[in-house]
Amino acid sequence: MTTIPIVRVESHWRGTSDCLSCSFRSVALFADLTEEDFANIHAPIDDLFYRAQSTLFREDERALGVFTIRNGMVKLVRTTGDGRSRIVRVLRQGEALGLEALATGSYDHHAIALLDTTLCRIPLSVIHALSQNSKNLHKPLMQKWHQALRQADDWLADLNFGSARQRVANLALQMRDPLQTGQVQLFSREDMGAILNLQQETVSRELRTLVREGVLRQCDSQSRQFEILLLEALQRAASGT
Amino acid sequence: MTTIPIVRVESHWRGTSDCLSCSFRSVALFADLTEEDFANIHAPIDDLFYRAQSTLFREDERALGVFTIRNGMVKLVRTTGDGRSRIVRVLRQGEALGLEALATGSYDHHAIALLDTTLCRIPLSVIHALSQNSKNLHKPLMQKWHQALRQADDWLADLNFGSARQRVANLALQMRDPLQTGQVQLFSREDMGAILNLQQETVSRELRTLVREGVLRQCDSQSRQFEILLLEALQRAASGT
DNA sequence: CGAGCGCTTGACCGGCGTCAACACCCGTGG
DNA sequence: CCACGGGTGTTGACGCCGGTCAAGCGCTCG
């Protein structure tokens, strides 16, 4: 029922990336490349900024490149047969998006920033040239495909299973900040509903129940940021025991 | 002369495949290989048969190879945090399974034959050797990854969304025989429940309703085989209108 | 022919969807 | 400074879909 907002104005170009000295390189696609490989990159790798809610790309759009997230969060949205839209994954720091462009030249999802997000965009030509001339891209690329597929399966198995309480608890666990453990970044109730296959009212109720029980604590006025007070209890809620 | 270290009762070896003349080659991983490439394959590619309900491989098992289905159907099962199991995908003719073995050396799911199934198993060593020495495997491999990821997303968006009626209808549409359009191969109600996130009673009820409405016709006594009589009506049921 | 398994059908009830009202935050303009 | 309005989150009331439990049916196979 939600229509994809057409907001592309909210992005800007931050420069071209110096991949060799990038602090994310170890987790990104270029982990194994040599200096020689880098010397053969002839198209600029752009460093981009997108404001929250703005669109990175749309389904079936001709692809400009593959992205790696440096900071922030991106949702992948898919429109179902009956016109409703469903969030099939949320990607965070270090994850790749738009890999399908390598296979088909266009994207399979709408990609929309959930938070202010910075990422770099690697032109398809660069990837194709590198995979022709070097073997060092093959393995990291395969690992990114694998990571994406695993995440898709996790999403299905964990977030679309069990009671509303279980799902919300699982989402909170998944969305823990990888650095500051205990901090959880959530989104609008509508987005959470589109992830968990629940109505926003139900999400709100379950979340509030967890707060009332002292499992979570709300950290901001818009109730997007939470802190886990009782991790054990949250895990029990997630597993339904 | 292949050693099969783990004995599985319900399977047997049918010989080694002659990939060059295989009728599935165009849809399989080896689509683009040259005669020269084939000459460099030094491990046997086994042709295997598995009876319905028998296990191809288990989660976390050390991987022997990547599979391509020649005939039949295989379910990929994942055990959730709370101990229940969920079918994350069903693979059919021409599809690849166990790709994750290329990235990690072990499998991410339990794979169980839903019907009597024949498939060929390509040893990891063959894939690795080919990707070192030839560029012709790269593209088909990426397409298989892409296909798997797309299917995972479809699964989530179509089969885990909407009312029980919509889900069952969608599953019937997905499980149409690619050759004999109109024929639908289904499974036990329990398996269907594990796919659709419904109880078997609910699946049974919705299926029976579709038969009573004249949308489907049951073709066998075990009610696994159906024929679509009113495709339009089934599509309407799937989209919930 | 009987046992056992899987499928079907019925009765009942609880969780979640639906609709609606309200609270709260924020930006805008008077 | 407050008044106003729109957007988002929260809470309540109510009804329905689908889960649960249980009984019965129809295969298939010993």
Strand-strand pairing, B11-16 and A225-228: unpaired
DSSP state of A66: E
CA distance A239 to chain B (A): 5
- Answer yes or no: are the C-beta atoms of B116 and B52 closer than 8 Å: yes
Whole-model pTM: value is 0.90
Q: Roughly how many angstroms between the first and final C-alpha of chain B, as a whole number? A: 57
DSSP state of B63: P
Do residue A103 and residue B143 have CB atoms under 8 angstroms apart? yes
HEC string for B175-201:
CECCCCCCEEECCCHHHHHHHHCCCHH
A16 vs B230 pLDDT, higher one: B230
Q: Provide the pLDDT for residue B7.
A: 37
Residue with tokens 């060092």: A136
Instruction: List, as ranges, residues 176-205 from B with C-beta within 8 Å of A.
Output: 197
Nucleotides of D under 7 A from a protein CB: 8-13, 17-22, 26-28
Whole-angstrom distance, CA of residue B170 vs CA of residue B221:
23
D17: residue with closest CA to C1': B163
- Please determine, for residue A117, whether its predicted confidence score (pLDDT) is greater than 50: yes
Q: Provide the pLDDT for residue B21.
A: 74
- Please determine, for residue A23, whether its predicted confidence score (pLDDT) is greater than 80: no
Interface contact B240, partner A, CB < 8 A: yes
Do residue B148 and residue A150 have CB atoms under 8 angstroms apart? no
Using a 10 angstrom Cβ sphere, with 0-12 exposed, 13-18 middle and 19 or more buried, the burial of residue A43 is middle
Q: Provide the pLDDT for residue B125.
A: 94
Q: Provide the pLDDT for residue A5.
A: 43
Phi-psi region of A83 (alpha: psi -120 to 50; beta: other; left: phi over 0): left
Pick the range with the lowest mean pLDDT from A135-144, A184-193, A198-207.
Answer: A135-144
| Residues composing chain B | 241
Whole-angstrom distance, CA of residue A109 vs CA of residue A194:
14
Interface contact A61, partner B, CB < 8 A: no
- Where are the strands (E) in A20-134, listed by range? 46-50, 55-57, 65-71, 74-79, 85-91, 96-97, 110-113, 117-123
Two tokens, residue A190: 């509508």
Do residue B78 and residue A102 have CB atoms under 8 angstroms apart? no
Do residue A88 and residue B157 have CB atoms under 8 angstroms apart? yes
Q: Provide the pLDDT for residue B118.
A: 92
Nearest nucleotide (CA of B163 to C1') = D17
Nucleotides of C under 7 A from a protein CB: 6-11, 15-20, 24-26
Q: Provide the pLDDT for residue A131.
A: 86
Interface contact A163, partner B, CB < 8 A: no
Do residue A153 and residue B88 have CB atoms under 8 angstroms apart? yes
Whole-angstrom distance, CA of residue B115 vs CA of residue B92:
10
Do residue A131 and residue B138 have CB atoms under 8 angstroms apart? yes
Q: Provide the pLDDT for residue A15.
A: 66
User: Which residue stretches of chain B have pLDDT < 50?
Assistant: 1-9
Q: Provide the pLDDT for residue B42.
A: 84
Give the Å distances, CA to CA, from B210 to A109, B218, B234: 32, 10, 8
- Where are the strands (E) in chain B, listed by range? 11-16, 46-50, 55-57, 65-71, 74-79, 85-91, 96-97, 110-113, 117-123, 183-185, 216-218, 225-228
Mean pLDDT of chain A: 89
Do residue B166 and residue A82 have CB atoms under 8 angstroms apart? yes
Say which of A103, A146, A238 has its CB closest to residue B142. Answer: A103
Radius of gyration of chain A (CA): 19
Residue with tokens 């945090």: B81
Which positions in chain A touch B77 (Cβ < 8 Å)?
none
Q: Provide the pLDDT for residue A8.
A: 43
Q: Is A209 helix (H, G, I), strand (E, B) or coil?
A: helix
Q: Which residue of A has its CA nearest to B140?
A: A103
- Please determine, for residue A161, whether its predicted confidence score (pLDDT) is greater than 50: yes
Query: Quick one: what percent of chain A has pLDDT higher than 70?
Result: 93
Task: Provide the 10 A C-beta neighbour count for residue B163.
Answer: 12
Q: Which residue of A has its CA nearest to B137?
A: A138
**Identity of the residue numbered A196:** L
Closest by CA to A183, choosing from A191, A192, A194, A175, is A175
Which positions in chain A touch B160 (Cβ < 8 Å)?
156, 160, 197
Residue B98 sits at φ, ψ, to 5 deg, of 85, 20
- Please determine, for residue A184, whether its predicted confidence score (pLDDT) is greater than 80: yes
Q: Residue A13, Cα to own-chain centre: how many angstroms?
A: 20
pLDDT digits 0-9 by tens, B67-83: 999 999 999 999 876 67
Nearest nucleotide (CA of B201 to C1') = C8
Q: How far is the CA of A222 from the C1' of C30 (A)?
A: 28
Interface contact B238, partner A, CB < 8 A: yes
